Amino acid sequence: MTIKWFKHGKWPRWLIGLHHYTIGSFILLVVTGVALYLPIVHTALIPYLPIIYQIHILLGLIFTVTLIVPFLRVLPAGRRIWRYDWVLPLLVGAPIVVTGIMLWGVTLFPTTARSRAFTWHGWLTILFGAWILVHAFYKALGIRPKANGIAGRVDPDRRMFLRWTSAGVLGAAVVTVIDPASLLTRLMPQQTGGGRGPASAGVQRFGAYYTVVSGYPKMTLADYRLQVTGDVAKPMALQWSDVQSVPKYRETKDFHCVTGWSVPNVQWEGIHISQLMKLVQPRAGVKYVNFYSFDGQYSESLKLSEALDPTVLLAYQMDGQPLRQEQGYPLRLVVPKMYGYKSIKWLTRVEFSAQPITGYWERYGYPNEAYLTSGV
Ligand SMILES: Nc1nc2c(c(=O)[nH]1)N[C@H]1C(S)=C(S)[C@@H](COP(=O)(O)O)O[C@H]1N2
Ligand SMILES: [Mo]
């Protein structure tokens, strides 16, 4: 049996173009993905994050289509493709796509599965990237491994496509439903935690600890004041002991960031905004609650009705521990029904007002009403 080796000229131009496109778009997907995920890069690119997020999803969707093309169009026959060049992109590419879709569809999938999907989306991309490098290396050196087994040459057909894509999709289902990822994350904790050292026992790691200023602002409880101001009868500056004396409010809720990561079942403890209203007595015209951070940059705004939702609180504990400094110590807002950017950290002023303010991310185009939706 004769084997026709790869010759550029014999491939249809559209297929070569597609191949180059796939490589280019993979690189762009990695670059935009890293920009969204890695806090250091993330912070430097703040004004562009909303658009980078859209680009990442658009590229991902096109990437998905390019993976399916060989299924739609029969490739020229002649045993020309190494089996692993065909099997690996499907086996690894399919679960990257599936986990990506899970991250995109925030309200469509359970948070626990999505938080695993986030981890696997990253790990599988690293695997895929490593394979592309090996593939490029082989090609550049013109190395031709012995043609048998996984290194054998095949004509990719639809049956093969279906088999390996299904295997990849099934794999994605398995890793997001059960959790072999916890093994990997225990070995390399920085992969899911933004590289800030281990969390205290019982405290869940968040996908990233964001900050829009350089570093995480520090505050001692002795210096801390919570200003409660605005259109109110009795404006106040609460010391930490005053904050503590307000009746405690507890809840367990999922947390979601717009950039894809989620944390299931976070236990928050803190105070409900209705308690602050009892203290300062807002006047009749108050329609908004505005929030300010002592990082000097971040701000947020909620309608009064939103702020009084039973799920909204000012939290000082998470999973039974005081907040970490990165998480907004000593006090942060938590709005579980909305994307994470509403949950302002390092809270220092709550203002009851007839007017809303434009929050930090809202200035960069994020919507004011940040209710979780499935996707963009
Ligand atoms: N002051 C301040 N609050 C903030 C942010 C920030 O950068 N600064 N990031 C927001 C975003 S986009 C998210 S997703 C959550 C992240 O919470 P975490 O840092 O505890 O993970 O905090 C929100 N509150
Ligand atoms: Mo976020």
Q: What is the pLDDT of residues 338-375, one digit of tens each?
A: 999 999 999 999 999 999 999 999 988 788 888 886 54
State residue 3's pLDDT score: 40
Cα 258 to averaged position of ligand 2 atoms, centre (Å): 5
What is the chain's mean pLDDT, rounded? Answer: 87
d(CA 59, CA 77): 29
Judging by DSSP bridges, how do beta strands 226-230 and 347-353 pair with one another? parallel
State residue 199's pLDDT score: 45
pLDDT band at 181 (very low <50, low <70, confident <90, very high): low
State residue 182's pLDDT score: 64
Closest-CA residue to 147 (of 79, 77, 89, 70)? 79
Q: Is the dihedral of CA 343, 346, 352, 354 positive or negative?
A: negative
The protein residue with its alpha carbon nearest to ligand 1, atom 15, reads: 340
The protein residue with its alpha carbon nearest to ligand 1, atom 2, reads: 345
Question: Looking at the predicted structure, is the pLDDT value of residue 333 above 70?
Answer: yes
d(CA 197, CA 183): 17
**Number of the ligand closest to the Cα of 205:** 1
Pocket test for ligand 1, best of 37, 196, 345, 361 (most atoms within 8 A of CB): 345
CA distances from 184 to 179, 200, 223 (A): 10, 19, 41
**Number of the ligand closest to the Cα of 346:** 1
pLDDT band at 188 (very low <50, low <70, confident <90, very high): low
Cis peptide bond upstream of 110, omega within 30: no
Proportion of the chain above pLDDT 90, given as a percent: 55
Cα 151 to averaged position of ligand 2 atoms, centre (Å): 44
The protein residue with its alpha carbon nearest to ligand 1, atom 8, reads: 211
| Cα dihedral value 368, 263, 261, 370, nearest 10 | -10
- What single-letter DSSP state applies at residue 338? B
The protein residue with its alpha carbon nearest to ligand 1, atom 24, reads: 344
Alpha helices, H only, the chain: 13-37, 39-44, 49-72, 83-104, 111-141, 158-177, 181-187, 190-193, 240-245, 273-280, 304-307
The protein residue with its alpha carbon nearest to ligand 1, atom 1, reads: 345
More confident residue, 196 or 84: 84
More confident residue, 113 or 72: 113
Q: Is the dihedral of CA 130, 133, 139, 140 positive or negative?
A: negative
Q: What is the pLDDT of residues 109-123, one digit of tens each?
A: 888 898 889 989 999
State residue 61's pLDDT score: 93
Q: Which residues line ligand 1 (CB under 6 A)?
A: 206, 208-212, 257, 293, 295, 298, 327, 340-341, 343-346
Q: Is the dihedral of CA 122, 124, 127, 128 positive or negative?
A: negative
CA distances from 111 to 74, 96, 118, 172, 226 (A): 39, 17, 10, 15, 32
The protein residue with its alpha carbon nearest to ligand 1, atom 4, reads: 344
Question: Looking at the predicted structure, is the pLDDT value of residue 198 above 50?
Answer: no
The protein residue with its alpha carbon nearest to ligand 1, atom 21, reads: 209
Cα 113 to averaged position of ligand 1 atoms, centre (Å): 22
Superfamily of domain 225-364 in the CATH hierarchy: Oxidoreductase, molybdopterin-binding domain (3.90.420.10)
- Domain limits, the chain: 13-187, 225-364
**Number of the ligand closest to the Cα of 206:** 1
| Backbone dihedral region for residue 78 (phi beyond 0: left; psi -120 to 50: alpha; all else: beta) | left
pTM: 0.82
Pocket test for ligand 1, best of 53, 338, 343 (most atoms within 8 A of CB): 343
Q: What is the pLDDT of residues 275-323, one digit of tens each?
A: 999 999 999 999 999 999 999 999 999 999 999 999 999 999 999 999 9
| Backbone dihedral region for residue 192 (phi beyond 0: left; psi -120 to 50: alpha; all else: beta) | alpha
Ligand 1 atom with the shortest distance to the CA of 194: 21
**Number of the ligand closest to the Cα of 293:** 1
- What single-letter DSSP state applies at residue 259? T
Collapsed DSSP state (helix, strand, coil) of residue 282: strand
Q: Show the CA angle centred on residue 185, arms to residues 163 and 103, nearest 5°.
A: 55
Contact 185, 119 (CB under 8 A): yes
Contact 175, 101 (CB under 8 A): no
Cα 339 to averaged position of ligand 2 atoms, centre (Å): 7
State residue 105's pLDDT score: 81
Q: What is the pLDDT of residues 248-262, one digit of tens each?
A: 999 999 999 888 889
